[in-house]
Amino acid sequence: MAGYHSLRPQHAIRRMQQAGFTLIELMVTIIVAAILASVLLDRMLFYRDQAEKVAMQQVVGNLRSALHMKLASLLARNREQELLQLAQQNPMNWLAEKPSNYLGEIDLSNAKNLEKGNWYFDTSDKRLLYLVAGNGGDASKAEGNQVYLKVKILRADPAYPLARGPERKPAVEGVVLEQFGP
C-alpha cells in the first residue's frame, strides 16, 4: 500500500505539466486555421464573382426581352421607320424598373473614376456599359473588365426582295442587343 500512495502524487504532477498546449501544437493549430480561412476566403470571392455575373446576365436578359417587346410593339403598330431610332436609345429606358446599380446617362468621353459594379449609358457612343467589380481574385484581370451592350440594326441583303425603294436600300429585318466583353 505504501508504494501505491507514493506514485500517486508523481502521476498528478505529470498530468498538470501536460494539461496545456505546447508551442508546436499551438503553431500547428494556427497554421491549419490560416489554411482553412484562406480556402474559405477564396470560395467566398469565387461565389461573389459568380453572383455578380449572374446578376449582370439577368439584366442583359431583361434588356433583350424588353428590346423584343419594343420591336413587336413597333411592328404591330406598323411603325417600322422607328426601328432605326432604337439604336440611339438607352436600353434601360425600356425596362419597367431599372436595376438598383444603374447610375444613369453619362458622357463617358469626359468621365473619370467610374464606380465598378454599376451600369451606365454612354451618351457619346450610345452604348450601355457595365464595369465588372469582381476579378476572381486575379488582380491582373481587374483592368479592362467591362461589358458593353449596343443595339444593332439588322438589314436585309440589298439583293433580297425585301430591299425597298428605287436605290434598293436594304430594309430593316430586326434589331439585336450585342454584348462585347467578358
Give me 30's grid cell. Answer: 494556427
Helices (H) and strands (E) in the chain, counts: 2, 5
pTM of the model: 0.70
- For residues 144 and 110, the model is more confident at 110
Q: Which of 46-60, 116-130, 168-182 has the lowest mean pLDDT?
A: 168-182
Give me the pLDDT at residue 13, please.
57
Distance, in Å, from the CA atom of 161 to the CA atom of 53, rounded to the nearest integer, reads 42
Order across the sheet with 127-131: list the strands.
Answer: 102-106, 119-122, 127-131, 146-155, 172-180
Q: What proportion of the chain, given as a percentage, has pLDDT over 70?
A: 74
Beta strands in the chain (DSSP E): 102-106, 119-122, 127-131, 146-155, 172-180
Say yes or no to pLDDT of 142 above 50.
no
Say yes or no to pLDDT of 146 above 90.
no
**Residue 11 backbone phi and psi in degrees, to 5:** -65, -40
Distance, in Å, from the CA atom of 26 to the CA atom of 85, rounded to the nearest integer, reads 69
Give me the pLDDT at residue 17, please.
57
**Residue 104 backbone phi and psi in degrees, to 5:** 110, -165
Compute the mean pLDDT over every residue in the chain, rounded to the nearest whole number.
80
**Residue 103 host element (H or E):** strand 102-106
Which residues make beta-bridge pairs with 169?
Answer: 164
CB neighbours of 45 closer than 8 A, spacing ≥ 6?
A: 134, 136, 137
Residues 18-69: pLDDT tens digits?
Answer: 667 789 999 999 999 999 999 999 999 999 999 999 999 999 999 999 999 9
